[in-house]
Amino acid sequence: MSDDNLSHDNDRANRQQRARRSRMVRIDYMPGDHARVVIEAKRATCRPGSIEATNSAVIDAIVTEWAELTGIEYTQIDVSMTTGQQPELSHHFARAYDFDSCSGERSAPLGEATRRFCGARTRKGHPCRAKAEPGKRRCKWHGGRSTGPRTPEGKAKALKNLSKRK
C-alpha cells in the first residue's frame, strides 16, 4: 500500500466505490454496420468535439427521438429532494474515459487543472504540492502573491488607483 492513499481503510474505500458505481448505469453496446451509419449521421448534425457529439449523447438523442415517434411514454427523471449524497458523475458533462468526442482528440484542461505546482522546499524537505498562483511560479505561501508596491513610483500609482475607486 502506498503512502499516497489518504484512506488507509481499503475495505471502506471499496464499499464506497461500489456504492457510487451501483448508481451509474452502463450499457456495453457495439453497434452493427447499419446502426453505426445512423449514429454517424446523427453525430454529423452536432458541433464536432462538443458534448452533444459524444457516443453517449448521440445514442441518447436517437433513443429519445425513437421513443417520441413510436409513442412510448417516458418521463424526465425527477431530481431527488433528499439531502443525501448525490451521484458523483450525475452532470451531463461526465463521461467515461474510454469514450471521447468524434474528433478523437483530448481537449486541453482549462483553469485550475493547467496550473503548475509550487515546488518550493518545505520544512520537511519535500517540494510544496500547492497550486501556483495564476501567472506565477509559486503558491500564495511561498511568494506567489504580491506584497504591495516597493518603489515611490509604484506607491504613487497604487495611491492614484485607490483614489479612483472611491
27-74 pLDDT, tens digit each: 778 888 998 999 899 888 888 888 888 888 888 888 888 888 888 877
Cβ proximity of 29 and 59 under 8 Å: yes
In eight-state DSSP terms, residue 131 is B
Q: What 8-state DSSP symbol labels residue 52?
A: G
Of residues 100, 89, 94, the one with CA closest to residue 17: 89
- Contact by Cβ (8 Å): 58, 47: no
Answer for the pair 49, 95: CB distance below 8 angstroms, yes or no.
Answer: no
Judged against a pLDDT cut of 70, whether residue 7 lies above it is answered with: no
Counted residue by residue, the chain has a size of 166
Q: For residues 95 and 60, is the Cβ–Cβ distance under 8 A?
A: no
Q: Residues 21-28: what's their mean pLDDT?
A: 77
- Measured over all CA atoms, what is the biggest interatomic distance in the chain, rounded to whole angstroms? 77
Tens-digit pLDDT profile for residues 61-108: 888 888 888 888 776 655 556 666 665 555 555 555 544 454 445 555
pLDDT of residue 103: 47
**Residue written as grid cell 484542461:** 109
What does the pLDDT read at residue 151?
A: 92
All residues at 6 or more sequence positions from 50 whose CB lies less than 8 Å from its CB, including other chains:
101
C-alpha triplet 53, 57, 62: angle, nearest 5°: 105
Provide the pLDDT confidence category of residue 1 given band limits of 50, 70 and 90.
very low
Q: What is the DSSP letter of 54?
A: S
- For the residues 8-35, what does the mean pLDDT come to? 83
